[in-house]
């Protein structure tokens, strides 16, 4: 059954990463190992049909093998490293309103919600879920069916996800005023304001939590404090700018919100092992003679 899904993804994914005509569906198909990717994930579920990917968030790291799915609960700066190719995955961007509406329709209580929601949760895929995702991908072969059948298959996938081991986390995640929802909102706000000077009191006000409560929940979810999360986003954006533009480290430092270029270079080297200019040159050198891959994506949307 996983083979069917992998073949469907390969058939409809023209490049390593492809947005599709089916709303909320993206595809990933890699045949060669590539450099680790600095990306920002939005809330999504990645259904892995073939290959394996290691995801690194701060000091946390895990591998998602074939037959498993990874649920990313908030906007999250990560390093994605592909451990095994060919790699085939279908990615579903999540809609809190659709999940909430389905739960109301089911009108039933699920298992107890977790006290804290991690930034990423993995679980095996049941055969019924694999079948539904495969049919969702196959809609790309009959574009006239996308409008009538796409929302129905999407609803089926959400239904089966709520019945899966991810169900309790999804229920908690979709609640309008849960701790998971507040942390998700706060992480997105930090992402959108990461180049600005932020203080913990200001962030706590966005989260509608005390600074201590915010720190506890945010670190439980991401493995980072809110201010370290902001720093990670700044450095990731800086690396992307250095790689894709003809700019100096001092120019990039100012653009991502650093007052001191010296502090920027020190923190950049601590994060990536080299000074900014040398790191960017090394990244470009690694890609010389290779096919184009989305090494440093802008983070606007679901990613590999």
Phi, psi of 94 (to 5 degrees): -95, 145
Secondary structure, 3-state, the chain = CHHHHHHHHHHHCCCCEEECCCCCEEEEEECCCCCCEEEEECCEEEEEEEEEEEEEECCEEEEECCCEEEEECCCEEEEEEEEEEEEEEEEEECCHHHHHHHHHHHCCCCCCCCCCCCCEEEEECCHHHHHHHHHHHHHHHCHHHHHHHHHHHHHHHHHHHHCCCCHHHHHHHHCCCCHHHHHHHHHHHHHHCCCCCCCHHHHHHHHCCCHHHHHHHHHHHHCCCHHHHHHHHHHHHHHHHHHHCCCCHHHHHHHCCCCCHHHHHHHHHHHHCCCHHHHHHHHHHHHCCCCCCCCECCCCCCCC
Alpha-carbon distance of 32 to 112, in angstroms, equals 42
Comparing 286 with 120, the larger pLDDT belongs to 120
- Tokens describing residue 211: 């600074």
Whether residue 300 has pLDDT greater than 60: no
For residue 287, is it within any domain? no
The neighbouring-strand residues paired with 37 are: 80
Name the phi and psi angles at 292, rounded to 5: -70, 135
Domain for residue 83, yes or no? yes
Hunting for tokens 């000074």 — which residue is that? 275
Q: Where residue 210 falls among pLDDT bands split at 50, 70, 90?
A: very high
Residue 75 falls inside a structural domain: yes
Look-up: residue for tokens 């899904």? 5
189, part of any domain: no
Would you say residue 301 has pLDDT above 50? no
Give the pLDDT score at 173: 82
* More reliable by pLDDT, 273 or 35: 273
The residue with greater pLDDT, 288 or 294, is 288
Query: Domains in the chain: how many in total?
Result: 1
Q: Does 24 fall in a domain? A: yes
Q: Is residue 301 part of a domain?
A: no
Q: Which residues constitute the domain of residue 13?
A: 2-174
* Residues near 258 by beta carbon (within 8 Å), at least 6 away in sequence: 234, 264
Confidence at residue 283, expressed as pLDDT on a 0 to 100 scale:
79
Q: State the average pLDDT for the chain.
A: 87
Instruction: For residue 81, give Cα distances in angstroms to 6, 38, 52, 231, 269.
Output: 19, 9, 9, 21, 20
Q: Is residue 163 part of a domain?
A: yes
Q: CATH number, domain at 77?
A: 2.60.120.280
pLDDT of residue 99: 83
Preceding peptide of 86 cis, ω within 30°? yes
In a domain, 23, yes or no: yes
Over the stretch 47-105, which tens digit does the pLDDT of each residue have? 999 999 999 887 788 999 999 999 998 898 899 999 999 999 999 998 877 887 788 77
**Residues 25-35: what's their mean pLDDT?**
93
Measured CA to CA, the distance from residue 256 to residue 277 in angstroms comes to 16
**Average pLDDT of span 128-142:** 98
Check residue 297 and give its pLDDT: 37
């Amino acid at each position: 059954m996983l083979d069917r899904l992998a073949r469907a993804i390969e058939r409809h994914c023209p490049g390593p990463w492809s947005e599709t005509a089916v709303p909320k569906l993206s595809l990933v198909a890699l045949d060669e190992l590539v450099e680790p990717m600095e990306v920002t994930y939005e809330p999504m579920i990645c259904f892995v049909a073939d290959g394996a990917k290691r995801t690194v968030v701060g000091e946390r790291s895990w591998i998602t093998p074939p037959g498993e799915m990874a649920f990313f609960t908030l906007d999250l700066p990560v390093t994605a490293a592909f451990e095994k190719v060919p790699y085939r995955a279908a990615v579903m961007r999540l809609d809190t309103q659709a999940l909430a509406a389905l739960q109301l329709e089911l009108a039933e209580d699920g298992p107890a919600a977790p006290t804290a929601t991690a930034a990423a949760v993995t679980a095996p895929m049941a055969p019924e879920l694999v079948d539904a995702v495969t049919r969702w991908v196959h809609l790309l072969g009959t574009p006239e069916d996308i409008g009538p059948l796409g929302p129905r298959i999407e609803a089926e996938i959400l239904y089966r996800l709520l019945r899966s081991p991810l169900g309790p986390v999804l229920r908690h995640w979709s609640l309008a005023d849960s701790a998971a929802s507040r942390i998700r909102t706060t992480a997105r706000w930090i992402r959108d304001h990461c180049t600005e000077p932020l203080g913990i009191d200001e962030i706590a006000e966005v989260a509608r939590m005390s600074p201590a409560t915010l720190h506890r929940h945010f670190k439980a979810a991401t493995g980072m404090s809110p201010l370290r999360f902001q720093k990670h986003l700044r450095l990731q954006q800086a690396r992307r700018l250095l790689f894709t533009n003809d700019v100096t480290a001092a120019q990039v430092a100012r653009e991502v919100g650093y007052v001191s270029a010296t502090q920027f270079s020190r923190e950049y080297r601590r994060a990536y092992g080299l000074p900014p200019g040398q790191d960017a040159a090394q990244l470009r050198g690694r890609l010389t003679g290779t096919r184009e891959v989305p090494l440093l994506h802008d983070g606007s949307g679901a990613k590999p």
